[in-house]
Chains A and B, each alone.
Chain A
């Protein structure tokens, strides 16, 4: 029983991180219909920027994270402007390949600057606490609280603000949004900014319990794709729900099935879902 609760908590933690990454991915997909393979690289860079801030200039954890959000968000905007914008009217195969090109570049870039070795990130919240009979580190609790807070903020932003409404409008109908006077280019840039920022938050939160290395985005991004297919491409609640489903499945699968094959679980899940429903589990209905 103890193990079960512990594993459920672990699943919650992993799920929070996955959800944040998948949220960024699903936002971009909803707006531009691009499966952004380079999103994993943004996640990886988010961790590195935070790490560098903390190590090099001894910037406090939270401020480092804020800087990282800003830097990676701007990188996302740059990506949109330089690559996806010119490809707007290209066949769908092209922006996938362009995204792969950027992924390769950003990975090589990280390896050039920070080296290929695995690094650990120190956290000011390393202490172990007792939570409802479980012994967990403060950082894990923080990941859960942080992720949920960010999700609520994002939800409020999308539903309650004017700018958020323009994003939703554009996701629902690009031409229509254009007709009523929404600057779709600006909304696209904003979406990329948010998407990059979410990746940076997810990476900065989870880096202390994982390792930081150039290839750290690979598995996470693959799983994020699984999640957004699970939750319906472009759906925000779907991404959150899918993230937690995958998190729980994985941590329970690792305990009760096999730790070696825990990564396969996610992909098998996807293969099964797409085999039964080729268009994903839920069809998209604009957030």
Chain B
């Protein structure tokens, strides 16, 4: 337990910081921005599972985000269902659509997959935009209720919603940690590294790819549903392609295929773009080249670069130790090697 605390101490530090943050800063605006960035993080985690760990770049996730948001909005506003039931249903609906899309989309590979999902995302956007009678078209959907009370706990203030979404974020990270370190997670990585090889050693790639796809749409749907109840208003814009590019930027800057990446990237970009508010529409002038340069020089983002640096350092240390003591440390060595291979 103590060694775990020592090793993962910074995780608890971060959670603690997030919990006490509202008391440190009384600024409602910061709270609002932070809550929003938590929602993005959940969606980016979903994308990360698919793009980072399984190696399939899905450009439809803004669409799934919108599906989650609209499912919750429609269920609560038009059908009048209880919020929590609607939240669960919204996630399930997104998963169901994700399953159907994945079933077909995952037969394609690489470029075809990216283009296919790009088109699926665009179809979702167009359907939401044009299906006036159901979604309200360009006018959007208003009057989405805030999360309903759970017993004595009410979620009608910004502060309570902040904690609720923080709770969901922590849950997401935990689940993601479990997935990535499970046999399924290892299988996803195997598929990313070489699909043919994975197939050769007896992995049912289609089943696992589909699992990764549905899981990742689940998180996109959850984030969308939370977004709808936090902002209380949704329009078709949330399904537009620019949103998926935002997600990608967050993921890439933070580090694709790393657990810390989504949090680091989203937090950094959201805070930087908030301080560059005056740039508004022009922020892509900075982020576009940044994204490109990052991909060229740091393909695994900030978190990835940090992990690589630490691994190199530990490798150097063990080499130095070996030279000094003149004996081999098979345990540490094979461990580092294993981590390098797993990427």
Contacts and interface: CB of A to CB of B under 8 A. Distances in A.
Interface of B is mostly: helix
A35 B126 contact: no
Nearest to B115: A225
Interface string B296-317: 1001000000000000000000
By CB atoms of chain A within 10 A, which of B115, B289, B292, B295 has the most? B292
Nearest to A214: B281
A83 interface: yes
B212 to A, nearest CB: 15
Contacts of A218: 241
A83 B295 CA distance: 9
Contacts of A103: 245, 288
Contact of B299 (A35, A90, A222, A275): A90
A133 B274 CA distance: 59
Interface of A is mostly: helix
B282 to A, nearest CB: 5
A104 B292 CA distance: 10
Given A97-B248, A264-B126, A274 B116 contact: yes
Nearest to A225: B115
Given A92-B111, A105-B289, A86 B296 contact: yes
Contacts of A280: 112
A127 to B, nearest CB: 35
Contact of A101 (B55, B122, B291): B291
Interface string A29-71: 1000101000000000000000000000000000000000000
A91 B51 CA distance: 12
B285 A109 contact: yes
Given A87-B296, A280-B112, A268 B288 contact: no
A229 B55 CA distance: 21
B245 to A, nearest CB: 6
Contacts of A93: 51, 55, 57, 256
A98 B120 CA distance: 21
A229 B122 CA distance: 17
B110 interface: yes
Contacts of B291: 97-98, 100-101, 104
B296 A278 contact: no
B284 A108 contact: yes
Contacts of A97: 57, 248, 252, 291, 295
A271 B120 contact: yes
Contact of A102 (B114, B126, B282, B292): B292
A114 interface: no
Chain A, interface size category, equals 35 or more
Contacts of B276: none
A83 B296 contact: yes
A33 B225 CA distance: 38
A267 interface: yes
A106 B120 contact: no
Nearest to B132: A260
Nearest to B106: A278
Interface string A253-269: 00000001101100110
Given A94-B295, A96-B111, A271 B57 contact: no
B112 A87 contact: no
Interface string A72-85: 00000000000100
A116 interface: yes
Given A35-B111, A97-B295, A100-B245, A106 B288 contact: yes
Contact of A263 (B120, B126, B284): B126
B292 A222 contact: no
B285 A98 contact: no
Contacts of A111: 281-282
A267 B296 contact: no
B285 A112 contact: yes
A107 B107 contact: no
B108 interface: yes
B34 interface: no
A101 B292 contact: yes
B108 A274 contact: yes
Nearest to B284: A108
A159 interface: no
Given A222-B119, A278-B112, 9 more contacts: A83-B296, A87-B295, A94-B299, A98-B291, A104-B245, A104-B249, A267-B119, A267-B123, A274-B105
